[in-house]
Amino acid sequence: MLAKINSVYALIFLFAFALVLSGCTPAGPRALLQGKRELDAGNDAAAAEQFRLATSLLVTNANAWNYYGVALQRTGQPDEAARAYQMALKYDRDLVEVHFNLGSLWQEQNKFDAAAAEFTAYSLHRPNDVEGWRKLAYAQWKLGEFNSAERSYSSILALKKDDAEAYHGLGLTRLQRGKSREAAQFFAAALRSQPDFGPAILDYAIVSQQYLRDPKTALSYYRAWLALTPRAANWDEVNTLANALEQTLSGGTATAVVVNQPPPKSIAAPVPAPSLVVAKAPAAATNVSAPRPLVLVARPAATSAPLALKIAPTPSPKIITAPPPVPKLVPRMATVTPPAVVAVPPPEPAPEPKSSLWHKLFGSEKAASAPRPQYLEQGVTPLPSPEETASRARRAVEPPPLASIPRYHYLAPRPPAAGNRTAASGAFTRAQVYEQGEKWVDAEQWYQQAAEFDPAWFEAQFNTAVIAHRMRNYSPALARYEQALAVRPDSADARYNFALALKAAGYVLDAAEEFKKILAADSSEVRTQLALANLYAQTLHDPAKARPHYLKVLALDPQNPAASDIRFWLSSNPG
């Protein structure tokens, strides 16, 4: 019987293949395939014509409209391209690459408010895509939303810790907030990641000279920038500025102040850097009295982030920070893919903020609220010193009586029926915008409305739970997590967050059972092994049960950030 089925499928495939070869493919798919071939070959006008035909025959095909928008955008028809992208979203709100393409289109037209909304939608669905955060950061920068831009740059560094552009962008945002020394440290961090990164070299020189009053350091960086090859278009202007500074130093008219961050050692022998361009600033924007001030704008040739400072070399000039124009990027073309989980609550309880610069950026409550790929509970039972730990071990903390621990009453909802996805999508998008602006109450209301419009939409149910969890509204959060699990019972993210919410609400035994369910399906879940070990060690005071899970964390991830603490705990709690 199986042989017959296989032979039938083979005949069907051969017949379909013969149709393709004979030109009998239906007109709509044929036009779509031909348009893609023309687009790949760089024949944008011919591709646009084929996609026009395809969209007239496949009216509800979101991919066809997306491709049509790409072709129209490349042929310089922005209004028609925007309409095509909007049609793609009309027929499939989950084709998130359209948000990226439409955001790029708005950004090319300097419509940064609309661009930021599209890149927000894209980044919330694709939190692991560095380029989405980079484009969003640039739009936020242009809108003057420097705190939001800083969060976006931090999201880049959470994904790619050595991204020089993100460090440089953070330096610019800190300078806008009057924190010049922190800006210099971020420029130095960019150079540690990429020693030949021209914008950071030039901006470090500018900040050292104009803000930190350190002309010797500034001169060394100017010379390092001038040594880059090939030479930038504004090389002569920078060289003139460096020569003037050198003459001032040799004449003994300036006093050097050593900056906290020394120049990178590799600056002495830089490798080729990206090209740079010269731009003239409007006289009204420079705020200096000298006629025709020189404005230096440095940027790599193929990046979308704000990359340089504007400076007029006058006796006491003001630096005006501003990003260069974003270069055009190739619009994205993609198949239909479901949106990823887009939000996760911070740990409970939140740690006390520290005073260091790096903790302010990456460890504060505000930084923790930025979207991340997934939540990873870190840290184990706190052990301040060996002496205190030994004392605790001798005291042998008794576990709480199980009968005294409250239990959660499960709602156990049935899988819901599908609803109005179109109406739900509109509410979902508005919720995302409010969430990006940290307007949690409004975000929760719109996510809840999206979930009510379409109860079977997992992302709507999950995000409603996440926002309620973030605001510590545990009762509605737990109910929504159950709804999300009714839609997608195999979601490790939803069950993990559900367990965290149960733990935070005091239902620790139920939280342990939910963690166990995750591990029963996948024992390699490091975050769950660590969370369950912490629960046993810290809350239930049951080291015998905590120990195997801590050992499993070390076996799965020897370099885990909590590894040293785990080993210390294991040595103090021998099994």
Cα distance between residue 223 and residue 575, in whole Å = 61
3-state SS track over 190-242:
HHHHCCCCHHHHHHHHHHHHHCCCCHHHHHHHHHHHHCCCCCCCCHHHHHHHH
Q: What was the pLDDT predicted at 333?
A: 55
Tell me the whole-structure pTM to 2 decimals.
0.47
Cα distance between residue 545 and residue 543, in whole Å = 5
List, in order of start, the domains of the chain with CATH numbers: 149-321 (1.25.40.10), 357-572 (1.25.40.10)
Neighbouring-strand partners of residue 297:
277
Integer angstrom CA distances of residue 423 from 320, 426, 453: 44, 5, 6
Q: What was the pLDDT predicted at 177?
A: 83
Q: What was the pLDDT predicted at 178?
A: 86
* 82, amino acid identity: A
For 288-309, give the DSSP string. Answer: --SSS---EE---TT--S---E
C-alpha neighbours within 13 Å on the C-beta side of residue 432: 26
Q: What was the pLDDT predicted at 430?
A: 84
Which pair of structure tokens corresponds to residue 452? Answer: 């009510």
Cα distance between residue 548 and residue 379, in whole Å = 16
Cα distance between residue 503 and residue 433, in whole Å = 29
User: How do the pLDDT tens digits run along the chain, 575 residues long?
Assistant: 333 334 444 444 444 444 444 455 578 888 889 888 988 898 999 999 999 999 998 889 999 999 999 999 999 999 999 999 999 998 888 888 999 999 999 999 999 988 998 999 898 888 889 999 999 999 998 888 888 898 999 989 988 888 999 999 999 988 888 888 889 999 999 999 999 998 999 999 999 988 888 899 999 999 999 999 888 888 988 898 889 888 888 875 433 333 333 333 322 222 222 222 222 222 322 222 222 222 232 232 233 333 333 322 322 223 323 343 333 344 655 433 333 333 333 334 444 444 443 333 333 333 333 333 333 333 343 333 444 444 444 444 456 676 778 899 999 999 999 999 888 888 888 888 888 888 888 888 889 889 999 999 999 999 999 999 988 888 889 999 999 999 999 999 999 999 999 999 889 999 999 999 999 999 999 999 999 999 998 888 889 999 999 999 999 988 888 888 888 888 888 76
Cα distance between residue 301 and residue 280, in whole Å = 18
Our CA angle for 277, 151, 441, nearest 5°, is 140
Q: What was the pLDDT predicted at 273?
A: 27
